[in-house]
Structure 1
Amino acid sequence: MRISFYKDRCIGCNYCVEAWPERWQMSKRDGKCMLIGGKMKGKVFSLEVGEFERELNERAEEACPVNAIRVSKQID
């Protein structure tokens, strides 16, 4: 499963952190969210995680009011 995070869209509402604090945290530097373990590719942070994280990250995706989080199945 892949998580994609578009940080430039983030407004710092903290909903994703509330949904899954072990994968999301707020940055003290800019007040926006950070995808813990995410690697930046262009303007998008992405991370491949196991299926066991799907439900929690989908909660974060649904809670985000600016659609900055995308959860998708990894296609090989």
Structure 2
Amino acid sequence: MPKIIHYRDKCIGCGICFEMQPELWRMSRKDGKAVLLGAEEKRETDVLTVNKLLLQEAKIVAAACPVKIIKTVN
């Protein structure tokens, strides 16, 4: 299954992911970092299983991330 992986501890809170794909991302009011909605936390990373359509959109988001902390897995 396709997955989105987010290394939240390295997030700088720029908000690009939320702006580009608001159905999957929110910005935390607590620390200003991005939150991958519905993700399961695994060893300091957030992992979300998605369908192929969301994965294609997430690849664009991952490429736009200035610190490259969003990864996609087919």
CA distance in structure 2 between the partners assigned to 1:8 and 1:67 by the alignment: 12
* 1:19 shift after superposition: 1.0
CA distance in structure 2 between the partners assigned to 1:40 and 1:5 by the alignment: 9
CA distance in structure 2 between the partners assigned to 1:10 and 1:38 by the alignment: 15
Structure 1, unmatched stretches of 5+, are none
Q: Which runs of 4+ in 1 moved over 4 A?
A: none
Cα RMSD of the aligned pairs, angstroms, is 0.7
Pairs aligned (count): 73
Match of 1:62 in 2: 63
Structure 2, unmatched stretches of 5+, are none
* 1:28 shift after superposition: 0.3
Q: Which amino acid aligns with 1:49?
A: V
